[in-house]
Amino acid sequence: MTEQHEDPKFEQWLRDAAKAYHSPLPTPREEMWKRIEEARRHKHVIELRPWMRWAIAAAAVLVLGIGIGRWTATPSSGPNGTTLATNDSAGRHVTREIDSLAGVAYQVAATQYLSRTEAFLTSFRADANRSANTARLARQARELLSSTQLMLDSPAANDPRLRSLLEDLELVLMQIAMLNPLQDGRDRDLITEGMSQSNVLPKLRSAIPAGPVSARTQGAL
Amino acid sequence: MDESQLIARVRSGDRAAERALYDAHVDRVYRLAFRLAGDDALAQDFTQETFIRAFDRLGSFRGDAAFSTWLHTITTTVVLNGLRKVKRFRQRETDIDDAHEIGTVHRQAEPDLKLRLKQAIDALPEGYRTVFLMHDVEGYTHEEIGTALGVETGTSKAQLSRARAKLRVALADFAGEWAQ
């Protein structure tokens, strides 16, 4: 279809002029390859596992409440009219249901925590114009740092690879939390340099299931 | 060795073949990621993520289309999703920021053509901008773009045409530049 506003002269000029838009740098192929290899080594090893439940206490309380509430609301009774709450097998069934619900909730919460951290660090590193407010960045880093430290104190940290990732995250978040507004630019450069050296973002991404957060948790609840 | 043989070797776990496949395609992937992201760190992240996903999912590549087409489908998905995520995060920051500060940044008049062009391209809707950069700047065909973005070829052509029209309006002050 020929559009009314086609103008070969303009189009040629536009193509030439637009070459300067986001003009790429030489491809850093060796650096990227190194990170790809490292990230692939970690892939499939760091997984969100049921023991992460201990790290997300708030979600656990919520789900346990829902689980118990659902069970007690079910009008099930034994042959003599006694409720199943006093029966051992029913008790085990409830425990299994609660465990299952809790496991799902912990996975959702942990995925969201890792996704938030990834979004925060990606944005921090990409923020070349330093427009973000230092105080706010520090506050956000402190919030994420609390979650990271909670996970480090949990059985989740028994996995050496996840522990290594959490320790890297803790260090980076701690540095951001302590950013000095007076030496902001230099400090940020040092932090982003440290992030690249420790390969923290590729490792973090490897620990997050592919797809947007909503898709990752879709169908889980 | 042709590409299908190379892919077969990658599937069988040959690390040297992985590297060869990466070398053959990394420039174009990185260029596209950089054009769309406008930032080296993000472009590197997106390129890495593209290859990690491609190697992980190579088993699902059936060879119906060229490998490069399949790879660029992954690239555009990774880049556009990544940019949306960064944009959402920055938007949350902006919402909290002092409104006066934001207004000042956006109201600045910029007489320089290069910057005006950048602003005009940045202001295009995501679909128009992606098609414009892929076609007019990076030289992808409408067929490649359609496959990568999951749209009809006609849609790609229409979006390009609308992108150019919007840019022409936005750059009307510089009409003398192309009328010569």
* Residue count of chain A: 221
Q: Which residues of A touch B48 (CB under 8 A)?
A: 32, 35-36, 39, 202
User: B87 — contact with chain A (CB < 8 Å)?
Assistant: no
Stretch A124-148: mean pLDDT? 76
Distance (Å) from the alpha carbon of A94 to chain B's nearest alpha carbon: 38
> Who among A24, A43, A136 is closest to B35 (CB)?
A24
Are A55 and A106 within 8 A, CB to CB? yes
Q: What is the separation, in whole angstroms, between the first and last Cα of chain A? A: 48
The pLDDT, as a whole number, for residue A34 is 93
pLDDT on residue A152: 77
User: What ipTM score was computed for the predicted complex, to two decimals?
Assistant: 0.84
To the nearest whole Å, the CA of A59 is away from the closest chain B CA by 23
CA distances for A80 relative to A72, A86, B19, angstroms: 18, 12, 70
* pLDDT at residue B130 in the model: 97
Asked if A206 lies within 8 A of B52 by C-beta distance, the reply is yes
Q: What is the pLDDT of residue B155?
A: 96
Give me the residues of A, 36-65, that contact B with CB < 8 A.
Answer: 36, 39-40, 43
Each residue of A58-91: pLDDT tens digit?
555 555 455 444 444 444 444 444 444 445 565 6
Q: What are phi and psi of A77, to 5 degrees?
A: -145, 155
Flag whether residue A202 sits within 8 Å of chain B, measured between CB atoms.
yes
Q: Is A133 at the interface with chain B, CB within 8 A?
A: yes
How far, in Å, CA of B103 to CA of B81, rounded? 27
- pTM of the entire predicted model: 0.61
The Cβ of residue B72 has, within 10 Å, a number of other Cβ atoms equal to 25
Contact between chains at B157 and A24 (C-beta distance less than 8 A): no
Q: What is the pLDDT of residue B101?
A: 47
Closest residue of chain B to A192, computed from CA coordinates: B41
pLDDT (0 to 100) of residue A15 = 93
Q: For the CA atoms of A87, A88, A89, A95, what is the dihedral angle to 10 degrees?
A: 110
Q: Please tell me the distance from the alpha carbon of residue A29 to that of residue A158, in angstroms, as a whole number.
A: 35
CA dist list (Å): B142 to B27, B152, B160, B161 = 20, 9, 9, 12
* A143-199 residue pLDDT tens: 888 888 877 777 767 777 778 888 888 888 888 887 776 666 777 888 888 888 778
Local structure of B145: helix, strand or coil: helix
A199 in contact with B at a CB cutoff of 8 Å? no
More confident residue, B104 or A141: A141
Contact B167/A40, CB-based, under 8 Å?
Answer: no
Contact between chains at A15 and B49 (C-beta distance less than 8 A): no
Question: Would you state the pLDDT for residue A96?
Answer: 64
Whether the CB of A218 is below 8 Å from some CB of chain B: the reply is no
Query: If you average pLDDT over every residue of chain A, what do you get?
Result: 70
Q: Is the pLDDT higher at A34 or at A116?
A: A34
What are the phi and psi torsion angles at A17 (to 5°)? -65, -35
Interface of B with A in 148-177 (CB under 8 A): 154, 157-158, 161, 164-165, 167-168, 177
CB pair distance less than 8 Å for B55 and A31: no
Q: Which residue of A has its CA nearest to B153?
A: A1
* Cβ–Cβ contact B49 with A under 8 A: yes
Mean pLDDT per 10-residue section of chain B, whose length is 180 residues: 89 93 97 95 93 91 87 94 81 58 43 87 96 96 94 95 95 82
Which residues, at least 6 apart from B40, have a Cβ–Cβ distance to it below 8 Å?
A: A25, A28, B34
Residues of B in contact with A120 (CB under 8 A): 89
CA dist A149 and A132 (Å) reads 25
pLDDT (0 to 100) of residue A119? 85
A211 HSE (CA, 13 A, CB side): 7
